[in-house]
Amino acid sequence: MQDFAEAFRLAFGLVGSADPDLIEIVVLSLRVSFTALLISCAIGLTLGAFLAIARFPGRGALLVLVNALMGLPPVVVGLFVYMMLSRAGPLGVMQLLYTPTAMIIAQTILITPIIAALSRQVIEDLNGEYADFFRSVSVPMADRLWALLWDARFSLLTVALAGFGRAVAEVGAVMIVGGNIDHLTRVMTTAIALETSKGDLALALALGIILLGIALAVNAAVMGLKTQAVRHAYA
């Protein structure tokens, strides 16, 4: 028990002193997860909006597939990306394995289905509300997509938040494709796993505190935005 208390004291000390190693890990984690989130939003929101309003043969099967992919096991994604990027893999010539780019690719694959599936539901609900108006004024598909994405933007922020949460907390895939290399691919989750196994609970706890802090801050920001939106009847 005394060890835990000492670990907490050291952890807060590391956070308070803005330890350079700690900062490096945090910055890399955020860079990887935010980049993956941006790419996933570009793909997932477009796909989600398209699935919400388009009707075509096989749409039901595609919806089932996208929904099922929300539960993709990170280690399976890691293994898949590893095979693609390894020297013998089809993308081996790009030499991306054990780089932050490989980690971004893995996280993108992991969270794109989440963003596509959740945004599909949000946009489908809004489209149900707008459908008569859109048909009445003959809004072309591209304008309709953009209008729905824009008008649902505050709800879609929550969707993006869910994706970011999944990305920043993920450990299996980035461990496989990043390799947890110090000063190169070490992110918060892989560092926590490593330091815990080494018995260095202080650094692990410090990273855990920061991870929780980031999650709280992002949630609070999004909730604040949504509250403003509801107050102004935009949501």
Interface with another protein (CB under 8 A): 126, 129-130, 132-133, 135-139, 143, 147, 151-152, 232-235
Residues 6 or more apart whose Cβ sits within 8 Å of residue 205:
7, 8, 10, 11
Note whether 29 and 220 are within 8 A (CB).
Answer: no
Instruction: Report which residue type is found at 53.
Output: I
- Which is nearer to another protein, 108 or 158 (by Cβ)? 158
Least gap, CB of 207 to another protein (angstroms): 40
- Which is nearer to another protein, 5 or 233 (by Cβ)? 233
Least gap, CB of 233 to another protein (angstroms): 4
- Which is nearer to another protein, 138 or 197 (by Cβ)? 138
Instruction: Report which residue type is found at 29.
Output: S
- Which is nearer to another protein, 82 or 134 (by Cβ)? 134
Least gap, CB of 234 to another protein (angstroms): 5
Take residue 171 and report the two structure tokens written for it.
Answer: 């450990």
- Which is nearer to another protein, 28 or 145 (by Cβ)? 145
Least gap, CB of 132 to another protein (angstroms): 6
Phi, psi of 88 (to 5 degrees): -85, -10
Distance, in Å, from the CA atom of 171 to the CA atom of 64, rounded to the nearest integer, reads: 26
Distance, in Å, from the CA atom of 187 to the CA atom of 168, rounded to the nearest integer, reads: 9
Instruction: Report which residue type is found at 110.
Output: L
Crossing angle of the two packed helices 20-53 and 141-151, in degrees rounded to 10: 130
Least gap, CB of 136 to another protein (angstroms): 5
Least gap, CB of 156 to another protein (angstroms): 12
The sign of the CA dihedral 219, 221, 225, 228 is: positive
- Which is nearer to another protein, 129 or 182 (by Cβ)? 129
